[in-house]
Chains A and B, each alone.
Chain A
């Protein structure tokens, strides 16, 4: 009888999650990382970083590459910076399953990050750690992976 009661209560509460999910849709969400660039400013304000997906980086379980353009605020490209990328699924401790690498600059101020893979759907935070001369700064980008 207890199990049946629990089951009945459970069934009657099924509307809770659909309603909650619908309400969540009204809240601002992270963008899917598009092929077109997104511009983010670093935390300490030293750099602007244009991030673009080479293919469709929001897709699950594929290796992706990202293109970065690094500029100081005045718009001047930053050449010779050291950049590393880490990623973590938001609201959990799960990191990216791969170790992305930044390729040598194909042209000044432009960088390419290879080996990005998302293996779980949901919201991910990418962190670009930037070292340039004596400056250390970080730019973050939240992306929705479907």
Chain B
């Protein structure tokens, strides 16, 4: 008999608690801040748009073939290097090394390919304008795969498992010495790798689940609720007056995809430190770019190349803004991989080093030591799983050809 009032009181208390949480969710962030949060959550990331330069981009057979190529060390001069050498699924498709090591040692940190289907430009200096043409450059680079295109086509031709898949998707392989045919086959192999890479996307992080709950005016699940420090760090991140991080690290991938000079020093005065200034010229002259004969794009599809900014002072020493998702797996940081800890990378933004090439765009940060730590706490809420078919996160099974 006495349990009824107790149950009623408990129910009312639960209702009040829920109402409190809902009210808190609505009032913790201003309307403008909620707009910004909505722009950052993965829920606002659409599926990658079709790549007009790659008619095989959404072909599942091409993606399966690309998966096999991605893991295949036969695509290198020493038989030891594959795409996966520098893009390991367990490290969010990076390699954990300061700079990428293929057949030789490259001067650049290996960027993640997670979510790269949304990129406009590829490589740190944006010298490629599609995923498939990026893959081609890595295959031929003497420091990466070191595999010239004609030798690559021979590898495909002389390995029955590879030849069978190639022919099934793209048709006959070119005759030896057919320069244009070799170029087209080379491009096709890049398009298969890109078809695979397009399916590698970021999965929801604690931050995304928190924001989705807040925007739905419900209390986040306990494990998804940001701590006070993480919330304060998020405030710093999105505030233009404080961290200002969102100026460049915006959108659900936490990058604007463009190029900025932040004064990261190039080791030994490497002339490649000119960055986007040279990268855009290389992209425009590339035979495998959007407007090239090996692209599947129609006239009018290549607006990014058409409107690319050139020969402007801010491009000197400017490099692409990387995503901030999965930072706990993508160390070391910066394009030269000289920051082993996230704190070290963040410290760069407080020390404001002078650019050795061009002029740094970094503003003076007006954040305190405590806010600096809170910002780091927030950044670690962006870790999440990889959203891709499970088979694409493992080496492909061995293939037998009868």
| A residues apposed to B, CB below 8 Å | 3, 6-7, 9-11, 13-14, 17, 20-21, 60-61, 63, 92-101, 114-115, 117, 119-122, 146
B326 interface residue, CB < 8 Å from A?
Answer: no
**Residues of chain B within 8 A of A63, CB atoms compared:** 303-304, 307
Whether the Cβ atoms of B312 and A119 lie closer than 8 Å is no
How many B residues, CB 8 Å from partner? 34
Interface pick from B107-115, B203-211, B329-337, B363-371 = B363-371
Tell me the nearest residue of chain A to B312, going by C-beta.
A95
**Residues of chain B within 8 A of A93, CB atoms compared:** 314, 361
Whole-angstrom distance between the alpha carbons of A96 and B304 in the complex? 13
**Residues of chain B within 8 A of A60, CB atoms compared:** 39, 250-251, 256
**Residues of chain B within 8 A of A95, CB atoms compared:** 309, 312, 314
Whether the Cβ atoms of B39 and A115 lie closer than 8 Å is no
Whole-angstrom distance between the alpha carbons of A96 and B36 in the complex? 21
Distance to closest chain A CB from B365 (angstroms): 13
**Residues of chain A within 8 A of B35, CB atoms compared:** 146
Partner of B361, one of A6, A92, A99, A100: A92
Tell me the nearest residue of chain A to B228, going by C-beta.
A11
Query: 27 A-B contacts, Cβ less than 8 Å apart?
Result: A6-B370, A7-B368, A9-B368, A10-B368, A10-B371, A17-B242, A21-B241, A61-B250, A61-B256, A63-B304, A63-B307, A92-B361, A92-B363, A93-B314, A94-B314, A94-B361, A95-B312, A97-B309, A98-B307, A99-B309, A100-B307, A115-B303, A119-B250, A119-B258, A121-B250, A146-B35, A146-B36
Tell me the nearest residue of chain A to B256, going by C-beta.
A119
**Residues of chain B within 8 A of A98, CB atoms compared:** 307-309
**Residues of chain A within 8 A of B257, CB atoms compared:** 61, 119
**Residues of chain A within 8 A of B250, CB atoms compared:** 60-61, 119-121
Whether the Cβ atoms of A6 and B247 lie closer than 8 Å is no
**Residues of chain A within 8 A of B241, CB atoms compared:** 17, 20-21
**Residues of chain A within 8 A of B312, CB atoms compared:** 95
| In the A-B complex, the 7 residue pairs with the closest CB atoms | A115-B307, A10-B368, A7-B370, A119-B256, A10-B370, A98-B307, A97-B258
Whether the Cβ atoms of A10 and B240 lie closer than 8 Å is no
Tell me the nearest residue of chain A to B232, going by C-beta.
A14
B246 interface residue, CB < 8 Å from A?
Answer: yes
Whole-angstrom distance between the alpha carbons of A3 and B36 in the complex? 31
B310 interface residue, CB < 8 Å from A?
Answer: yes
B248 interface residue, CB < 8 Å from A?
Answer: yes
Known contacts A114-B307, A122-B247; 17 further A-B pairs (Cβ under 8 A): A3-B369, A6-B369, A10-B369, A10-B371, A17-B241, A61-B251, A93-B361, A95-B314, A97-B259, A101-B307, A114-B303, A115-B303, A119-B256, A120-B250, A121-B36, A146-B35, A146-B39
Whole-angstrom distance between the alpha carbons of A114 and B370 in the complex? 45
Whole-angstrom distance between the alpha carbons of A3 and B373 in the complex? 12
Whole-angstrom distance between the alpha carbons of A13 and B241 in the complex? 14
B306 interface residue, CB < 8 Å from A?
Answer: yes
